[in-house]
Amino acid sequence: MKKVILSLAIITATVFTSCKSEGKKETNTNKTEVSKEMATTGITFGVRGNCGMCKSTIEKAANNVEGVATATWDVKKKKIDVSFDGTKTNAMEIHKAIAASGYDTEKSKGDLNAYDGLPGCCKYDHSMGMNQ
């Protein structure tokens, strides 16, 4: 067992040593990637809706906002989890985009014309809670 651990330590040290000898270009690329990761923000908020079709429309609206990396709406919880680049957009822009598709969010009322165009199964009770 000690030989296996020692062997792994030697291999790891060799890999790190060989990586150091590569050019500065690698280092700069890594710094850029770290900067992008640091700009990523995650939020969760309530969105009214009913079904799988709602899920598709809500997620599409959020994902169409420039800078949004991922958007996943939970049908049962009536909540959306969004990861986005804070240098390209902000939470309110995401709320507005979802509202423009006809769905109420915690901070923005859904566009009534868009709501009227939703399929019947997507017509939700405007008094329904979003924090279930």
Answer yes or no: pTM beyond 0.95: no
For the chain, first and last CA: distance in Å? 51
- pLDDT tens digits, residue range 17-51? 544 444 444 444 443 443 445 478 999 999 999 99
Nearest Cα neighbor of 115 from 103, 128, 97, 125 is 103
Residue 78: Cβ within 10 Å count? 22
Q: pLDDT tens digit string along 4-16?
A: 565 555 665 554 5
